[in-house]
Amino acid sequence: MMELLSIFLPLKTPNTLKYIFSVKLIDKARLKQLWEQIKMLNIFELAKEEGLQEGLQEGLQKGLREGKTMGGLEAMRDMLVETLIERFNVVSGLISEQIRALQNQDVLKGLFHQAFKCQSLQEFEAILKLVN
């Protein structure tokens, strides 16, 4: 049966089917049975393609959301470091590394506010140690 299916799968025109029927390669009942199986295979193929398309779309949406979040975090980290440099003229590599390791937006927002409230870089560094 799979041999016959492999013959019919590429067939898409009614003329080809008429030819097969006219030269009596297969009887009408068997042809109908095979045709139903072919249609089911097409349905499965369409469903597979649709599922693949939906999966790709979901993956793209998730990637965009994650990229937006990561981009936002990176911008917040950069602003915090720049603010510290502006306020205190210099930021050690250790402080910069600790800030770049932070993954929580709320923590970064809090530190950003603290960057304006602290009187010295050492005071800010003490607060940074508390959140790490």
Q: How far is CA 89 from CA 61, 77, 116, 118, in A?
A: 41, 17, 13, 14
pTM: 0.55
Per-residue confidence (pLDDT) for residue 16, from 0 to 100: 61
Per-residue confidence (pLDDT) for residue 72, from 0 to 100: 87
Percent of the chain's residues with pLDDT above 90: 42
Q: Which region among 11-20, 49-58, 95-104, 108-117 has the lowest average model confidence (pLDDT)?
A: 11-20
The Cα–Cα gap between 87 and 29 comes to 87
Structural domain count, the chain: 1
Q: In angstroms, what is the C-alpha Rg of the chain?
A: 33
Per-residue confidence (pLDDT) for residue 37, from 0 to 100: 76
1 — pLDDT class (breaks 50, 70, 90): very low
pLDDT > 50? residue 5: no
pLDDT in tens, 6-64: 555 555 555 665 665 566 666 778 777 877 777 776 677 777 777 778 878 888 888 88
Q: How far is CA 31 from CA 7, 18, 37, 45, in A?
A: 12, 11, 10, 21
Q: Domain limits at 85?
A: 2-131
